[in-house]
Chains A and B, each alone.
Chain A
Amino acid sequence: MRSRRLVLLTAVTLVLLLAGGAYAKTTLTFWNGFTGPDRPVVESLVQQFNDENPDIEIEMDIMPWDSFMQKLMPSYIVGKGPDIAGLGAELLPRLVEAGVLAPIDDVFTETSVPRDVLAPFAVDAATYKGKLYGTPMSSFALLMYYNKDHFTAAGLAPEAPNNWDEWMQAAIKLSNPPQQYGMVLPTKESPAVWPLLMWSNGGGILGEDGEVLIDSKETKEAVSFWADAVHQHEISPVGLIGPETDKLFQTGKASMHIVGPWMTAGFTEAGLNYDVAPIPEGPKTRATAGGVTSMAVSKQAGADPEKRKAVYRFLEFWNSEESQIKWALGAGFPPNRIDIADSPEIMAHPWVPKFAAGLTYAQGYLVGTPKFSEIESDVYEPAMESILLGKQTVEAALDEAGQKLRELVK
């Protein structure tokens, strides 16, 4: 009697287990800051993944970047962080130090996306102290947008300048403040325009091995070259923050603008006659700044074999050729994969191929340091602002910045 009941119980349990197994879904949470026009593209790719993988469910939460950070930290603290988070390179090292992310060095061998098909700087951006913590979700390089009508009106050929001297001459010639400015040089909340000018002259803020470059001769030369022109010829308004620069270019108040691929849609829709070109070559080199959002895996998800497998499947899906073509054509970003940059679908797009070309030599801005925010807000921004506002000389401001930076990275 008793044993029969036991058998029955076991059978029922087994059936339940089997049935459960067949329907068991691995649920992954995925948070990112892709609001705005990129959101529908991200959503449709995630939807496609969910449809194609009935055993995995990605629950995505998209929110604006700054509130994303505010939600992310407390959530990680109580162990409720997302399994996958779309993180900027500036934040990643700090979170690694905090011990909330899982290294995923085997992702290139476990999935069908090998390391060498991805833009090198984009992989580096997710690497900290020799370990990999994410694969790229999106990557971009800055290019120079220029207004062709302005060039023609100023008696210039509607072509981008090639070197700094041509560039400076064009900037001065195109400036007729306050009606029109040759350039827009933002100092805050913006892509790394000043840093890439520093790099072009062999300077920078912080070198690859952590050496302080912000008070080097090369950096000072580069900053003086452009800041003097701002002071003498008003080639750019001062005190600009990122979004303002976009508005100035869009309204035809600025002739040249260094920014990422996301503005092409808006500028085209506004009817601007413009083109994009590589950043003109500097005295030392041609440089551009790249930006990366990496999909980073939380420690909990990394430790759970089931989840880890599902996460890898999603990362693989995201950087598959097919998805990357959809992403590039939908969002206007260059594909993360450099091996499909010359595929016919990509080449047919008016802008993406140009941005993809930029990815091959792009550098990350202040990547690989957990002190990104301190360096940006205590060292770099105040130095540039006080130079451009005429509160300090280039020499004095950058010397002071160098001192502060040494203190910070000591």
Chain B
Amino acid sequence: MFIGNPKQKKQPIARHNQHIAYLFLFPSLAVFMVFIIYPIGFSLWSSFTNWSLIQSAEYVGWANYVRLWKDQRFWNAVYNTVVYTVGVVPIGTMLSLALAVALNQNLKGTKFFRTAIFLPVVASTAIIAIVWTFLFDPQIGLFVYYLSKIRITMGAWLRDPDYAMLAIIIVSIWKNVGFNMVIFLAGLQGIPYSLYEAAKVDGANRLQMFRYVTLPQLRPTTAFVIVMSVLGSFQVFDQIYVMTRGGPLYSTETLVQYIYHHGFVTFQMSYGATIAMFLLVVILALTIFQLRLFDRPID
């Protein structure tokens, strides 16, 4: 299917006993089947009903999907989710790669920098969001106060429909850059040093080494980081829930925010599940596309 590389040559490993693979997979699969796949199936079923958590469900056919198609607030959430993802993933990935490369050499203070950059990952998103709301506050926040000292005025970002998403994006990049940096660092560790030496012998400069050794060798790592970042971005929730609740005027309402609204605010779980199924199909398609694009095993 989509993950395997058709051109991949037969590996000697194929001589292993095939069935042992299922033994290796069994425990994980058992957990997933019971606690995730079955519940997803349940959600899929409920998207064809009018289940509202409290009333017993009746089959309604495609009614929820028709409603979805006509729901402006839903399309607004799709738009916001895409804006968020486009804002977070490319910059976040490049920044974390740059930091990983920078911190993979013998620089003074490497350990300190790595720890500092990773620290935001360690704290929970909800707590981080509380802190940033404080710092960003347009009247009493520290940023506004410091900027006013040098006579710069900062708008009320979180209360302005044109800027609220930008503020969320900045906080999200800040929060996650260390996470991807560490993954890239682990990937960089796996690149055999001999490759760089060979490139050096060929007279490559550092940029060329990055282009022709580091990047191709990092391919599985990059694929992983991008795929996971897109997955995460499409499901962004905590920081928005704490910082803006999807406002002002729905300008930061993303898909999961909207799912939550239907699940636990208005209790129309079946409609929430319908949105979730839409989300699942979109992410699945995107993931397949990305894996086809990036995820070829290196030889």
Q: Which residues of A contact B (CB under 8 A)?
A: 66, 69-70, 73, 76-77, 94-95, 97-100, 178, 188-189, 237-241, 244, 247-248, 251, 253, 373-374, 377-378, 381-382, 385-386, 389, 391
Contact with A along B259-272 (1 / 0, CB 8 A): 00100111100000
Contact with A along B70-107 (1 / 0, CB 8 A): 00010000000000000000000000000000000000
Considering only CB atoms, which chain A residue lies closest to B253 in the complex?
A: A377
- CB < 8 Å: which of B53, B248, B264 contacts A239? B248
Considering only CB atoms, which chain B residue lies closest to A189 in the complex?
A: B245
Within 8 A of A (CB), among B151-186: 156, 158-161
In Å, the complex CA distance between A99 and B54 comes to 8
Say if the beta carbon of B66 comes within 8 Å of chain A.
Answer: no
- CB < 8 Å: which of A98, A188, A373, A389 contacts B245? A188
A143 to chain B, nearest CB (A): 23
Indicate whether A98 sits within 8 Å of B247 (C-beta atoms), given known contacts A237-B138, A237-B159.
Answer: no
In Å, the complex CA distance between A300 and B138 comes to 49
Apart from the given pairs A237-B138, A373-B266, A385-B248, 4 other A-B contacts in the complex at a CB distance below 8 Å: A94-B267, A239-B156, A241-B244, A382-B250
In Å, the complex CA distance between A240 and B139 comes to 11
In Å, the complex CA distance between A94 and B159 comes to 31
A97 touches B140 (CB 8 A): no
B172 to chain A, nearest CB (A): 20
Give the chain B neighbours of A373 by CB distance below 8 A: 265-266
In Å, the complex CA distance between A93 and B139 comes to 39
Considering only CB atoms, which chain B residue lies closest to A253 in the complex?
A: B139
Give the chain B neighbours of A247 by CB distance below 8 A: 137, 139-140
Query: Main SS of chain A's interface residues?
Result: helix
Considering only CB atoms, which chain A residue lies closest to B153 in the complex?
A: A178
Shortest 3 CB-CB distances between A and B: which pairs? A239-B159, A98-B54, A239-B248
- CB < 8 Å: which of A98, A188, A241, A378 contacts B55? A98
A231 to chain B, nearest CB (A): 15
Indicate whether A70 sits within 8 Å of B53 (C-beta atoms), given known contacts A385-B247, A385-B248.
Answer: no
Say if the beta carbon of B249 comes within 8 Å of chain A.
Answer: yes
Indicate whether A240 sits within 8 Å of B159 (C-beta atoms), given known contacts A94-B267, A247-B140.
Answer: yes
Contact with A along B215-253 (1 / 0, CB 8 A): 000000000000000000000000000001101111000
In Å, the complex CA distance between A119 and B245 comes to 33
Indicate whether A389 sits within 8 Å of B139 (C-beta atoms), given known contacts A237-B159, A239-B160, A377-B261.
Answer: no
In Å, the complex CA distance between A391 and B248 comes to 12
Which of the listed residues A98, A247, A377 has the most CB atoms from chain B within 10 Å of its own CB? Answer: A377
B245 touches A386 (CB 8 A): no
Which of the listed residues B139, B160, B266 has the most CB atoms from chain A within 10 Å of its own CB? Answer: B139
Give the chain A neighbours of B53 by CB distance below 8 A: 73, 77, 98
- CB < 8 Å: which of A73, A100, A248, A374 contacts B139? A248
A244 touches B137 (CB 8 A): yes
Which of the listed residues A66, A76, A373 has the most CB atoms from chain B within 10 Å of its own CB? Answer: A373
